[in-house]
Amino acid sequence: MRPSGRQPDQLREIRITRNFTKHAEGSVLVEFGDTKVICTATVDRGVPRFLRGSGSGWVTAEYGMLPRSTNTRNDREAARGKQGGRTIEIQRLIGRSLRAALDLNKLGENTITIDCDVIQADGGTRTASITGACVALIDAINVLKKDKHGALKGNPVKYMLAAISVGIYKGEPVLDLDYAEDSSAETDMNVIMTDKGGFIEVQGTAEGAPYTQDELNKMLALADKGIKEIIALQKAALES
Amino acid sequence: MRPSGRQPDQLREIRITRNFTKHAEGSVLVEFGDTKVICTATVDRGVPRFLRGSGSGWVTAEYGMLPRSTNTRNDREAARGKQGGRTIEIQRLIGRSLRAALDLNKLGENTITIDCDVIQADGGTRTASITGACVALIDAINVLKKDKHGALKGNPVKYMLAAISVGIYKGEPVLDLDYAEDSSAETDMNVIMTDKGGFIEVQGTAEGAPYTQDELNKMLALADKGIKEIIALQKAALES
Amino acid sequence: MRPSGRQPDQLREIRITRNFTKHAEGSVLVEFGDTKVICTATVDRGVPRFLRGSGSGWVTAEYGMLPRSTNTRNDREAARGKQGGRTIEIQRLIGRSLRAALDLNKLGENTITIDCDVIQADGGTRTASITGACVALIDAINVLKKDKHGALKGNPVKYMLAAISVGIYKGEPVLDLDYAEDSSAETDMNVIMTDKGGFIEVQGTAEGAPYTQDELNKMLALADKGIKEIIALQKAALES
Amino acid sequence: MRPSGRQPDQLREIRITRNFTKHAEGSVLVEFGDTKVICTATVDRGVPRFLRGSGSGWVTAEYGMLPRSTNTRNDREAARGKQGGRTIEIQRLIGRSLRAALDLNKLGENTITIDCDVIQADGGTRTASITGACVALIDAINVLKKDKHGALKGNPVKYMLAAISVGIYKGEPVLDLDYAEDSSAETDMNVIMTDKGGFIEVQGTAEGAPYTQDELNKMLALADKGIKEIIALQKAALES
Amino acid sequence: MRPSGRQPDQLREIRITRNFTKHAEGSVLVEFGDTKVICTATVDRGVPRFLRGSGSGWVTAEYGMLPRSTNTRNDREAARGKQGGRTIEIQRLIGRSLRAALDLNKLGENTITIDCDVIQADGGTRTASITGACVALIDAINVLKKDKHGALKGNPVKYMLAAISVGIYKGEPVLDLDYAEDSSAETDMNVIMTDKGGFIEVQGTAEGAPYTQDELNKMLALADKGIKEIIALQKAALES
Amino acid sequence: MRPSGRQPDQLREIRITRNFTKHAEGSVLVEFGDTKVICTATVDRGVPRFLRGSGSGWVTAEYGMLPRSTNTRNDREAARGKQGGRTIEIQRLIGRSLRAALDLNKLGENTITIDCDVIQADGGTRTASITGACVALIDAINVLKKDKHGALKGNPVKYMLAAISVGIYKGEPVLDLDYAEDSSAETDMNVIMTDKGGFIEVQGTAEGAPYTQDELNKMLALADKGIKEIIALQKAALES
């Protein structure tokens, strides 16, 4: 029934490649099927003004799509002179989620900037971004741990995070929507959970008809299954 | 336990004043306690380029806060030269929700622009905005209905919508958070539902600890109760 | 002769409501007939860079119109990414006038920011803004006076100010033009005066034919009468 | 008493050089003493959207200062990415005044764009600009008159315009303030009049103390004298 | 002598991977050693306004660097709201060069947009971009050739182009500078040549001391050798 | 053969007028035939952040064209809100070249800002700008030399610089292209050289056909001749 032939509860093939580029403290290529995102984590000493002297660190995120990562070319945001609303919404979500995964006090007055740049899009770029960014973030924190001057006050990583989309496609709840499904789904929900099973963020939008509590529960169950599988892949990547 | 002395499942006093200003096709002052938002709906012939010739209408929304609607003054976005990320996120939510309430084909090639301007903020400005905007939207559509040239193709209103925030405050699920609660809640969730009881949007964010499925369900039950009460107030306002 | 039936030297009904919103140090709703403006005054410690260390304070103003405060909707300036020329001209006028009313040295190194936001427009928004802003400014200064750390060096208020428009409408000088008059007046003049009767600003523009010295004098006489009445209303409001 | 040794009612030396640059339909270098402004007038077929099909023409103006036209360098507005408030205020004044000098219907659907660029500033740049722009505008209209396709419907020039500043300097009304006077004047007034003696614009600002009706009248009398002299110079330049 | 151990006339390893991403008509990953750039070519019907109706096509280019493609993170240009001067200079060079390689009349009224996005930088990103973009451009034109509606009027490709940097490093002319060399070279020159051996662009800048005609000639000879080798690689890639 | 009747190796009449405006430390009007550019040099204490404490000075440049310096009016960049790509390219070239002429360490922590504003354009505005800017720069440095607090550490001027365009016009190499030639040249090259004969910058672009090494050499020989003549004029101007 799914355009890709997948089972309703089946993820696309997910690949996580660490050290994808050479300069960043953390650099991950994450692939959810044909969706490919480069996630880098950059460590800088110091924090934004509102945190100076607080002893607390900061994590922020930026997101972008290469103009031709999509089927038709999108204007380059740098050339248009501003980021679009969708971009801003997504990068706020990425930053907020990752901050929830850390104890920022233990990070010390360091800032980690996450960049998620989509080089090929086929649905689920925000969930792939969060999934890859979590691995890049941990790599960057491991660099900080080895840095005598890094000022970490213990391990700031409280949780691992992964994200997945679920939705109602042709009346049936499905896991990890690709573009063909996403563009005609009745409901589109993004779920971010920790490796302990708690929710960090749930965002569910009725694209067609309103959805019911029962549908919501079924989607959350699918998300729970998918996120467990993704977290296993993240852990395997970090151990390799 | 709540700073306001309210019960966990108790809304603030909600007031909906129609025809608040004189020029707009729909103009509503909505008050959720001390949160006050002017919601106007403007009807224009024609639609954005991507819909021209489709026969379909469009609804879009913009949101703003007066600089001193808050406890400390925020920079005026017009003077800074751009809308902040929070503003963009909220106005996208308002527009998306209201479009879900309508059959845009029945609207004909008309555009309705919703403006939600917060004149005093005390938590819950986005849920108040959606609640007031829905009433202003219906008033504007009623103007269109009386307009011979309005080109409506039947009643475009599929649902009434209302929105409410719920959250976990000091460990307990509560309804309709004011600023004092919102700024220290562990979880903050905005729920938008129709008068038929379906979900249009659920957005739940862990501000402190991750939340559980059980907490999610309790919050959704509170939201369901609150939204039923608000929709009754909207209907009363529309009939007055 | 006037669309509103008023006498040539008759003001619209003017109402001044203090403490209109709860957060600002000064908050006034000013109404000149159907023109309604929220004027707030915000006190901040410190001054812009060019005054640091001078011992002098600063007053600045910003102006905006809600998009649908007018008969047809204006683009939201925050969304367009810049303030229009008319907005900039008006807010410069408001700030310049209010600074002329104060002894900035006695204000100490404090900044007062005036926000004038038009929620309903029917002509004369700039004169209503200045009139309301003066009251909000005085309320804010009274807050500063009670503040031990406020660093006032005496009473900085040299004058009360009010503003009114006058013009030549259908060949006759009239006071306090509403939109119907303003949009077809031959001459449009804004006059700002102190409670001592001196001029702070006179701006007279020939919209149709050039005007004569005699017409100028008649308009100034009308303005003088109107401003005396408005200042009485300001004083009554401040005493209530 | 004046820093320049001039009499209170004495203009600086005023020079008007036509055909200063070779490309524009009208190109004037205007000098008020050490203040030097290049004023060009450009003719384009067609009008802005709001006038299309109306048969009416349009005049608009832009103003700029070379960064080092002043004693200390000002940031280049093109590099900062926006025009400052003072620039916007001045260019609106120039455009509004020049439109008042023409019968726009007789101009036909042509647009004339005035550019006033200050290459050296010593006070009075806005009045010099209007004075020079009026000559450039007439030169451009004369080019249009000779153009068979120009679509003029009679002579659009209703008036000649000149502008001058007057002020209260050390307690005495003076004509044509230079920078040394302008920066310490108690009152600063710009007056624009026609060759028939009518007022197009009066803008008087109290920089120090409020001014009286008597002072206003004395300043207007000085302006009237100065403008008569300037208009004689404009006419001489146009005849040369 | 070179940090990389290369001979003065030795290129880095150059790899050209076609069809690197799936959506674009042409998509190439080009690698000059550790410098990696994704070059895509997008075909759109129609041309910019200044060419409409001319029968001629257009080629334009945009360039960007991922924020952490470099050793320290650069601000994201989309977030800053403008492209930097270096970016603009480079994308103008890319577009200008590629247009010189085509007969735009034979392209018909089609626009090809080249996007060069640096995912890892180690010197020579502009020369790598042009080299990769030329291949992506030819792939896109081959798509157009197969498109019945593509409106090509013959083969628009007049030349193949490649680009290489040369410079004076520690007093000696060298080919294809990497970052370690580039950042301390006395002279930096970028050369773009066709497969017929003609120059499309030569840009040579003295970073330290001025350079002589003899040094210029030696650098051009190195560039000629390098470009011949690169063009062989481009042709091999296109044939594979 | 040349539209102006000049010999292939003949410059236009070049005039250099020092002290053209009165405020700047260096102020030059440079004319290459009908191309006229005002070049000012402004001295400020202090350097940009990246040089603070280094003991080194800085030179930067900005370029602009008056809107009607050209045959048809160009939009004012300040009004459009950004500088165009050509402007940015040119001002980067001017700044980079002038920095190469100085020993920035001897300049001490001073910044010199060059402004090149084209008041009339007829081809070669960038080469005229560099030529005039070099003279203004030397005048400004001479002001610094006389300033006890100027902190110069010896004479920072290593070279004099001049710039000239050369090209292939109708198949023949020519010197100093005017607009009529520039707009139809096959090749356009800008050359910047020192008074010692070394190259600072060579930028040669094939506008039509690619050019050969032989053509390149002929153009460089013409440039060498022209620059020697221009430098003689610069020196004469500086001595006058």
Q: What is the mean pLDDT of chain B?
A: 96
Q: Residue range C169-177: average pLDDT?
A: 97
Over the stretch E5-39, which tens digit does the pLDDT of each residue have?
999 999 999 999 999 999 999 999 999 999 999 99
Q: What is the mean pLDDT of chain C?
A: 96
Cα D188 from Cα D179, distance rounded (Å): 12
- Whether the CB-CB separation of C80 and B64 falls below 8 Å is answered with no
Type of residue found at F117? D
Handedness of CA E171, E176, E181, E185 (dihedral sign): positive
Query: Backbone phi, then psi, for F127, in 5-degree steps?
Result: -75, -40
Task: Report chain A residues touching chain B, CB-CB < 8 A.
Answer: 82, 85-86, 88-89, 91-92, 96, 100, 159, 189, 193-194, 196, 198-207, 209-213, 216, 220
- Whether the CB-CB separation of F84 and F62 falls below 8 Å is answered with no
Question: Are C206 and D198 within 8 A, CB to CB?
Answer: yes
Q: What is the pLDDT of residue D151?
A: 79
Tell me the C-alpha to C-alpha distance, in Å, between residue D88 and each of D63, D85, F81, F83, F201: 8, 5, 13, 18, 39
DSSP states along D56-114: --EEEEEEEE-TTSSSSPPPPHHHHTS--HHHHHHHHHHHHHHHHHB-HHHH-SEEEEE
In the predicted model, is pLDDT for residue A123 greater than 70?
yes
> Which residues of A fall in the annotated binding site?
86, 124-126
Using CB atoms within 10 A of its CB, is residue B75 exposed (0-12), middle (13-18) or buried (19+)? exposed
Q: What is the pLDDT of residue E37?
A: 98
Spatial strand order in the sheet of C14-18: C14-18, C26-32, C35-45, C110-120, C58-65
In the predicted model, is pLDDT for residue B32 greater than 70?
yes
Task: Report chain F residues touching chain D, CB-CB < 8 A.
Answer: 21-24, 27, 34, 36, 38, 40, 42, 44, 62, 64, 66-71, 73, 76-79, 81-83, 87, 113, 115, 117, 119-121
Question: Are B204 and A199 within 8 A, CB to CB?
Answer: yes
H helices of chain B, in order, are 77-80, 85-101, 125-146, 179-182, 213-239
In the predicted model, is pLDDT for residue C230 greater than 70?
yes
Q: What is the pLDDT of residue A147?
A: 84
Task: Report chain C residues touching chain D, CB-CB < 8 A.
Answer: 82, 85-86, 88-89, 91-92, 96, 100, 159, 189, 193-194, 196, 198-207, 209-213, 216, 220
In the predicted model, is pLDDT for residue B150 greater than 70?
no
Q: Residue range B189-196: average pLDDT?
A: 98
Q: In angstroms, what separates the C-alpha of B178 from chain C's closest C-alpha?
A: 15
Question: Are A199 and B206 within 8 A, CB to CB?
Answer: yes
Handedness of CA A29, A30, A33, A35 (dihedral sign): negative
Please tell me whether C80 is known to bind a ligand. no
Enumerate the β-bridge partners of residue D62: D115
Q: What is the pLDDT of residue A150?
A: 67
Pairing of strands C14-18, B187-194: unpaired
Q: What is the pLDDT of residue D149?
A: 72
Structure tokens of B176?
Answer: 């309709």
Name A227's Cβ contacts closer than 8 Å, sequence gap at least 6. A162, A163, A164, A191, A193
In the predicted model, is pLDDT for residue F188 greater than 80?
yes
- 3-class secondary structure, A233: helix
Classify each residue of E35-48 as buried b or exposed e, where b means 16 or more C-beta atoms within 10 Å of its C-beta: bbbbbbbbbeeebe
Altogether, the residues listed in chain A come to a count of 240
Question: Are B27 and C68 within 8 A, CB to CB?
Answer: yes
Q: Nearest CA to E3 among E176, E166, E180, E167?
A: E180
Over the stretch C188-222, which tens digit does the pLDDT of each residue have?
999 999 999 999 999 999 988 999 999 999 999 99
Cα C140 from Cα C142, distance rounded (Å): 5
For B81, nearest residue in chain C (alpha carbons): C81
Spatial strand order in the sheet of B14-18: B14-18, B26-32, B35-45, B110-120, B58-65
In the predicted model, is pLDDT for residue F234 greater than 70?
yes
End-to-end CA distance of chain E: 36
Q: Residue range C156-172: average pLDDT?
A: 97
Q: What is the pLDDT of residue C150?
A: 66
In the predicted model, is pLDDT for residue F25 greater than 80?
yes
Residues above pLDDT 70, as percent of chain C: 100
Cα C112 from Cα A95, distance rounded (Å): 35
Indicate the helix (H) or strand (E) that contains C63: strand C58-65
Tally Cβ neighbours within 10 Å of residue A127.
28
Cα F212 from Cα E108, distance rounded (Å): 29
Return the higher-pLDDT residue of F133 and D146: F133
Q: In angstroms, what separates the C-alpha of B71 from chain C's closest C-alpha?
A: 5
Q: Nearest CA to E207 among F96, F57, F155?
A: F96
Question: Are D206 and C205 within 8 A, CB to CB?
Answer: no
Question: Are B209 and A199 within 8 A, CB to CB?
Answer: no
Give me the residue from B88, B202, B207 closest to A202, CB to CB. B202
Cα E162 from Cα E165, distance rounded (Å): 11
Q: Name the pLDDT band for F1 (thresholds 50, 70, 90).
A: confident
Identify the residue among D207, D213, D214 best suited for mutation to test binding to C, counting C beta carbons within 10 A and taking the highest.
Answer: D213
Task: Report chain C residues touching chain B, CB-CB < 8 A.
Answer: 21-24, 27, 34, 36, 38, 40, 42, 44, 62, 64, 66-71, 73, 76-79, 81-83, 87, 113, 115, 117, 119-121
Question: Are B79 and C79 within 8 A, CB to CB?
Answer: no
Over the stretch E145-188, which tens digit does the pLDDT of each residue have?
998 776 789 999 999 999 999 999 999 999 999 999 999 999 99
For D89, nearest residue in chain C (alpha carbons): C89
Task: Report chain B residues touching chain C, CB-CB < 8 A.
Answer: 21-24, 27, 34, 36, 38, 40, 42, 44, 62, 64, 66-71, 73, 76-79, 81-83, 87, 113, 115, 117, 119-121
Q: Return the number of CB contacts < 8 Å for D and F.
A: 97
In the predicted model, is pLDDT for residue F150 greater than 70?
no
In the predicted model, is pLDDT for residue B149 greater than 80?
no
Question: Are B81 and C79 within 8 A, CB to CB?
Answer: no
Over the stretch A28-58, which tens digit does the pLDDT of each residue have?
999 999 999 999 999 999 999 999 999 999 9
In the predicted model, is pLDDT for residue C235 greater than 80?
yes
Structure tokens of C71?
Answer: 């008969």
Please tell me whether B126 is known to bind a ligand. yes
Question: Are A71 and E117 within 8 A, CB to CB?
Answer: no
Over the stretch B44-72, which tens digit does the pLDDT of each residue have?
999 999 999 999 999 999 999 999 999 99
For B159, nearest residue in chain A (alpha carbons): A210
Query: Backbone phi, then psi, for B173, in 5-degree steps?
Result: -65, 130
In the predicted model, is pLDDT for residue C109 greater than 80?
yes
Matching residue, tokens 């010999």: F7
Structure tokens of B77?
Answer: 């976005």
Q: Name the pLDDT band for F132 (thresholds 50, 70, 90).
A: very high
In the predicted model, is pLDDT for residue C149 greater than 90?
no
In the predicted model, is pLDDT for residue F209 greater than 70?
yes
Task: Report chain A residues touching chain E, CB-CB < 8 A.
Answer: 21-24, 27, 34, 36, 38, 40, 42, 44, 62, 64, 66-71, 73, 76-79, 81-83, 87, 113, 115, 117, 119-121
Query: Backbone phi, then psi, for F155, in 5-degree steps?
Result: -85, 115
Q: Give ∠ CA B91-B94-B98 in degrees, rounded to 5.
A: 145
Query: Backbone phi, then psi, for B179, in 5-degree steps?
Result: -60, -40
Q: What is the largest CA-CA distance in chain D?
A: 56
Tally Cβ neighbours within 10 Å of residue F179.
18
Q: Name the pLDDT band for B135 (thresholds 50, 70, 90).
A: very high
Domains of chain F: 14-239 (3.30.230.70)
Question: Are C38 and B117 within 8 A, CB to CB?
Answer: no
DSSP states along D106-137: HH-SEEEEEEEEEEE-SS-HHHHHHHHHHHHH
Q: Residue range E70-98: average pLDDT?
A: 97
Identify the residue among D202, D214, D231 best suited for mutation to test binding to C, counting C beta carbons within 10 A and taking the highest.
Answer: D202
Handedness of CA C31, C35, C36, C38 (dihedral sign): negative
Enumerate the β-bridge partners of residue A36: A31, A120
Cα F206 from Cα F188, distance rounded (Å): 7
Enumerate the β-bridge partners of residue A110: A45
Please tell me whether F126 is known to bind a ligand. yes
In the predicted model, is pLDDT for residue B156 greater than 80?
yes
Give me the residue from A62, A68, A117 closest to E42, CB to CB. A68
Over the stretch A178-206, which tens digit does the pLDDT of each residue have?
999 999 999 999 999 999 999 999 999 99
Residues in C touching B69 (Cβ below 8 Å): 21, 23
Cα D133 from Cα D27, distance rounded (Å): 8
Cα F161 from Cα F199, distance rounded (Å): 10
- Residue B206, phi-psi category: left (phi > 0), alpha (psi -120 to 50), beta (remainder): beta
Partners of chain B (3+ Cβ pairs below 8 A): A, C
Tell me the C-alpha to C-alpha distance, in Å, between residue F104 and each of B19, D140, F198: 68, 48, 19
Q: Considering only CA atoms, give the Rg of chain C.
A: 18
In this prediction, the residues of chain D whose per-residue pLDDT falls under 50 are: none
